[in-house]
Every structure is written in structure tokens, then in C-alpha cells.
Amino acid sequence: MNKLFIFIIVFFFLNNCSLNENSRIWKAKNKDLTQNESIKKLFVEEKIKSTEFNPELAINITKVNSDSKEANNRNDNGSQNYIGLLKKDISFTFSKLDNINQLDYKPVFLPDGIIFFDKKGTIIRYNNDKKIVWKYNYYSKAEKKLKPKLNFVIDNETLLVADNKTKYYSININTGKLNWSKNGAYPFNSEMKKYKNNFFVADYENTLRCYNINDGSECWNMKTEDSFTISDAKISLIILNNLVIFNNSIGDITAVDIESGLINWQLPTQSSNIINKTYKFRMSKLVSDANSIFFSNNKNEFYSIDAKTGTINWMNKISSNLRPVISEKLLFTVSNNGYLFVIQKDTGNIIRVNDLYKHYKKKKREDIIPIGFVIGKNNLYLTNNNGRMIVIDLEFGKIINEIKISGKLVSEPFIFNEKLLLIKNGSIIRYN
């Protein structure tokens, strides 16, 4: 009887009490809470305070890149031929997008116009007089309601399309007529690149897929680790040295042989720490010169890695999620708190830092986030989430202009054919 009484007391004690951590006795509920709290603390994003450095240092960029397929495959446009008059030339209008994130999607720029899409997935080709050459929608009534987001790549007279559902297809760029249409296994979530007779795109399952341009048949696929993270950011792809190199949604950089689909090398940058499904993954697009790949992530790490081996050349602590820009021996990026970093490409040495938001009052600048930037012949053009674009004299890092584009979010700027373009909700604006 005594033993039974003692057993009941002990059972009651263990079932209803939570002791401190020294006791090593915890209720399951409390233990879970403790673990969740630890995870929450682990993923509090470190904030890096940036300061100006050598702000008066003059830099000189002499080389101006022309538009090229090679530059597109490396995401490296460099310094482009735009002198920055910023006179509004034309506006291409389309139906307003319900999801503002669609501004992250790049139009197709043509010598005689542009191609983009509206909120129902209708593809529209405009000429330079903003007249519609053709428009087609290849979706059912039910599919239109899902508001497909489209990624494009051009192969001569062919426009290749992959959406964020499961569809990918080919259309004639001159007529808009469908060549072929296929359905993939999973929705797509990446840039698209083409090489010879194939094009490449990645899906939400972190699988890189190679398709034949002529009929859409799959040549090979290569799956990396499943994602444990939440991410609206598109996977970035580059093609270099007979390799397709891409990041997945947990921060692994993978190089795949372009012919066989076999892994050449892989470099984890964030995946070892990502265990929480609420972790918001962010990462810049990959860019590359002939030898190295550059990118940044939300661990405040800015990398240069060897394109052939995947080994790290150097790493800086810079808080940025914007696509960097390469120009000759220099590398440019803008931090999340609005500082322009000028970096020696080969060594990683930071030679100049300019505060691009110093004209804002402290309370106001806390709400401003950079969206993206391009470099023209003399100036850098930075768009922000307040609908404004800041123009910076690149030689001395001085702000020379700020123009209001929209009351809401605008896209990153693009330069094509000596004109600057950007997307706001409902139109694409082009400047001379």
C-alpha cells in the first residue's frame, strides 16, 4: 500500500510540475517552448552598422559594356551606355498586378519594343510606339484566376516561358502563336537561361531542369536538398565554363555539368543553420566574371568564390540582398541600409563606402529599403521601396538627383539600347 501511495505521488509530481533547467525535468510543452525560443534567438538577423569610408575617393570607370547574350548568362551587365538625361520617353501600360512581387520579373527588351505579361498571364508584345503588336493568353479560365507569374528567355525567333505554376511553353516571338506547351512536375521559381539547343530553369523543389528548346522534352534534371525555408526570392542561374551554376532556396551554390547534369561542385552557405520553417531566406542574384562568382545573403555575408572549383576566394561582412555589379576591376553593391560599397574584385578590399540615404531624416530612412541598381556611363541608379530613384555620380559617390517614379514600389532599373527602364504597377516606363 505504501509503495502504491509513493508511486501515485511521484507520478502526480512528474506529470504536473516543471522544474528549472538544473533539475533536467521538464514538461513536454515547456520543453518545446524553450526550443522554439532558442530557434527564434538563433535566427534573429544580425544588424550591421555601416559607416562611410574614404567617401571622397575618386574612381574612374572607362569601359562601357554593350548588351550581349554572354553578359545575360552571367548576370553581369557592368557599366552600360546610358548618360542619364532621365527624360521620360514612353510608357507601356498593362493591367495592374495584384501581387506587387511581380515587379521582380524582368521584361524582354527588343530593339523595336518590349514583351511583358499582365496579372492573368497574358503575354503582350509592344512596339516602340507603345502599340500592341500581339497579345495572347495560353491559360484556362481557372488558371487565369491563379494569376500566373512568368519568366522569359529568348532564343532567336522563339520566346520560352516558364511560370510559377507548372507550365512551360514556347511561342513565336513575331506572331505570338504557340509552338508547344508542357506541364512540369512542380511550379518553377527561377531565372531562365539558354545555351545552344537547351534552356534551364529550377523549380520550388530545388530541382534544376534542362529542356530542349525545339520540343520541350526534358534532357536531365538534378535535385538538391528540399527547402525548409520561406522564400519569395527567385533562384538565380548563371552559365559559365560549360557549367550551369545556381543557388537553391537554402543557400547551397551548385555547379552542374551542362551536358550531363552531373554535379561538378557544391558549396553550402546557409543550409547548415537553416532548421526553422519560419526562417525568411533572402539572397542576391549570382553574378560572374570569367573566373569568379559573387553574391550576398541574409547572414550578412558577401562572397567571391572560384567558378571552377567552388572554393571561397574571400568573404566580407556586408548586409545586402541586391545583385552586385562588376565593372572592370571593381565590384559594386548597396547594403540594405543604403550604403554603396566599392570593392576590389580580386582581393575583396573595400576601398570606398558612401551613405546614399544621409539626406533622409533618421526616422524616415529606417523605412527605406533599396530595391536594385544599375550602372550607366557615369552614374549609378538606385530604386527604393518609397517609389523613388536616387542618381549617384559614380566617380565621387555624390547624390546628384532623386526622382519620384511612383507612390508605391518600383522594380529595379534596367538599361537597354541606351535607355533606362523600370516597372511600376501598371506600366513600364522608359527614359532617354
Q: What is the pLDDT of residue 44?
A: 43
Model confidence at 97, pLDDT cuts 50, 70, 90, reads confident
How far apart CA 288 and CA 199 sit, in angstroms, is 19
Given a contact cutoff of 8 angstroms between Cβ atoms, the answer to whether 221 and 210 are in contact is: yes
What average pLDDT does the segment 126-151 reach?
Answer: 96
Residue 36 pLDDT more than 50? no
Query: What single-letter amino acid sits at 69?
Result: K
pLDDT tens column, 291-330 = 999 999 878 999 999 999 999 999 999 999 999 999 999 9
Residue 186 pLDDT more than 90? yes
What average pLDDT does the segment 391-412 reach?
Answer: 94
Residue 160 pLDDT more than 80? yes
Q: What is the pLDDT of residue 280?
A: 65
The answer to the question of residue 388 being in a domain is yes
The answer to the question of residue 103 being in a domain is yes
Q: What is the pLDDT of residue 62?
A: 84
Residue 127 pLDDT more than 80? yes
Model confidence at 42, pLDDT cuts 50, 70, 90, reads very low
Model confidence at 269, pLDDT cuts 50, 70, 90, reads confident
Q: Is the dihedral of CA 65, 66, 68, 72 positive or negative?
A: positive
Q: 3-state SS of the chain?
A: CHHHHHHHHHHHHHHHCCCCCCCCCCCHHHHHHHHHHHHHHHCCCCCCCCCCECCCCCCCCCCCECCCHHHHHCCCCCEECCCCCCCEEEEEECCCCCCHHHHHCCCEEECCEEEEECCCCCEEEEECCCCEEEEECCCCHHHHHCCCCEEEEEECCEEEEEECCCEEEEEECCCCCEEEEEECCCCECECCEEECCEEEEEECCCEEEEEECCCCCEEEEEECCCCCCECCCCECEEEECCEEEEECCCCEEEEEECCCCCEEEEEECCHHHCCCCCCECCECCCEECCCEEEEEECCCEEEEEECCCCCEEEEEECCCCCCCEEECCEEEEECCCCEEEEEECCCCCEEEEEECCCCCCHHHHCCCCEEEEEECCCEEEEEECCCEEEEEECCCCEEEEEEECCCCCECCCEEECCEEEEEECCEEEEEC
pLDDT tens column, 322-366 = 999 999 999 999 999 999 999 999 999 999 999 999 999 988 899
Q: Which of residues 219 and 250 earns the better pLDDT score?
A: 219
Which residues are CB-neighbours of 306 under 8 A, at least 6 positions away? Answer: 291, 292, 293, 312, 313
What average pLDDT does the segment 193-205 reach?
Answer: 96
Which percentage of the chain shows pLDDT scores above 90? 74
Which residues are CB-neighbours of 252 under 8 A, at least 6 positions away? Answer: 224, 225, 266, 267, 268, 269, 271
The answer to the question of residue 29 being in a domain is no
The grid coordinates of residue 126 equal: 509592344
Which percentage of the chain shows pLDDT scores above 70? 84
Cα–Cα nearest to 390, from 362, 368, 419 = 368
How far apart CA 424 and CA 56 sit, in angstroms, is 34
The grid coordinates of residue 4 equal: 502504491
The answer to the question of residue 113 being in a domain is yes
What average pLDDT does the segment 264-281 reach?
Answer: 69
pLDDT tens column, 378-401 = 999 999 999 999 999 999 999 999
The answer to the question of residue 423 being in a domain is yes
The answer to the question of residue 168 being in a domain is yes
Q: What is the pLDDT of residue 47?
A: 61
Provide the residue range defining the domain that includes 339. 57-431
Residue 147 pLDDT more than 80? yes
> Per mean pLDDT, which range of 7-16, 100-109, 140-149 is the poorest?
7-16
The answer to the question of residue 268 being in a domain is yes
- This model's pTM is above 0.85: yes
Residue 286 pLDDT more than 70? yes
Looking at the structure of the chain, the number of domains it has is: 1
Q: What is the mean pLDDT of the chain?
A: 87
CATH code of the domain in which 120 resides: 2.130.10.10
What average pLDDT does the segment 206-218 reach?
Answer: 97
The answer to the question of residue 42 being in a domain is no
